[in-house]
Amino acid sequence: MGYDIGWIIPRLRNPGRLWHCASSITVAVVGLFSKIILEFLNKTTVYNRETLAAAVRRPRGQPLLTVSNHHSCFDDPGLW
């Protein structure tokens, strides 16, 4: 037995074309804005890059174990 919550926002049960269009534009703008922020404000630092590159070029069949530490101040949709 579920709750009858259809009275909360009755118009959103059958959204129209304007709603779908506005929703699509909103998702695209938020995604684009997040991508721009991540591209221009993101800074990646790699220590011992040569050592890592040499380890990646290892003999076939030899496993590679990598450990990385990261710090992120972004939350969704910034990580999206």
Q: What are the start-end ranges of the H helices in the chain?
A: 17-41, 49-56
Report which DSSP code applies to 12.
Answer: G
pLDDT at 21 over 90: yes
Does the pLDDT value for residue 73 go beyond 70? no
Tell me the pLDDT tens digit for each residue of 41-59. 877 777 888 988 888 888 8
Phi-psi region of 48 (alpha: psi -120 to 50; beta: other; left: phi over 0): left
Contact 79, 35 (CB under 8 A): no
Q: Domain ranges in the chain?
A: 10-79
Tell me the average pLDDT across 32-37.
86
Report the percentage of the chain scoring pLDDT > 70. Answer: 78
- pTM flag (> 0.75): no
Instruction: Kindly tell me if the per-residue pLDDT of 25 is higher than 90.
Output: yes
Task: Output phi, psi for 53, to 5 deg.
Answer: -65, -40
